[in-house]
Chains A and B, each alone.
Chain A
Amino acid sequence: DAKTTQPNSMESNEEEPVHLPCNHSTISGTDYIHWYRQLPSQGPEYVIHGLTSNVNNRMASLAIAEDRKSSTLILHRATLRDAAVYYCIPYSGAGSYQLTFGKGTKLSVIP
């Protein structure tokens, strides 16, 4: 699996957009990029995933760099409920059925 680098922590003001970066410079051409988040005292929660082009869903947007060596999870309007640890997970799917979580980015949202 590709290695990832994420900031240990970030802060955002409530109701402002948040851009959570992830570097995955060793990613292969067929690796999907998954994002999960884990709210305090809960199990991880699927957020979004994509391969090449940008992806949007009701929770967030995923912007993938053209060279695919980095991606950014975008929360368009942070709420207090978005305070969580965010994990960026490249997934190859080549004979592997597991997700490899790193330490993620702890996002704090300031009221």
Chain B
Amino acid sequence: DAGVTQSPTHLIKTRGQQVTLRCSPKSGHDTVSWYQQALGQGPQFIFQYYEEEERQRGNFPDRFSGHQFPNYSSELNVNALLLGDSALYLCASSRGLLPNEQFFGPGTRLTVL
């Protein structure tokens, strides 16, 4: 079992650009949550996808959007990148909506210049 996989591992973009990050959940999991982790801070919840719909959203602007595919994999899109979007983006998967025993991927390190 490969666990949660994310791609790419690192990414460098410039301000104003758009980025897409990808996540494949652990086998048997149907729910994907995305988190942003700034340096020295705990992860902050962005949103959760279940049955291809956004079920809950944290305090993030509309520039952050996502998608879940029928195979449960997910994408996180960020438009009009700002310097402050530089962070580690983590994907977590679980069975069902409740975040019991979430499995996290290694993250994608995004640097915005």
Let me know if B99 and A87 touch, CB within 8 A: no
- Contact partner of A99 (CB less than 8 A), chosen from B41, B97, B99, B106, is B99
Stretch in A13-21, A66-74, A100-108 with 4+ CB within 8 Å of B: A100-108
From DSSP, what is the main secondary structure of chain A's interface residues?
A: loop
Let me know if A87 and B102 touch, CB within 8 A: no
- The A/B interface has a contact count, at CB < 8 Å, of 57
Let me know if B42 and A43 touch, CB within 8 A: no
Instruction: Give the distance to chain B from A5, nearest Cβ to Cβ, in Å.
Output: 14
A96 lies within 8 A of chain B by Cβ: yes
Residues of A within 8 A of B (CB): 32, 34, 36, 41-46, 49, 85, 87, 91, 93, 96-104
Residues of B within 8 A of A (CB): 4, 33, 35, 40-45, 48, 50, 55-56, 58, 90, 92, 97-107
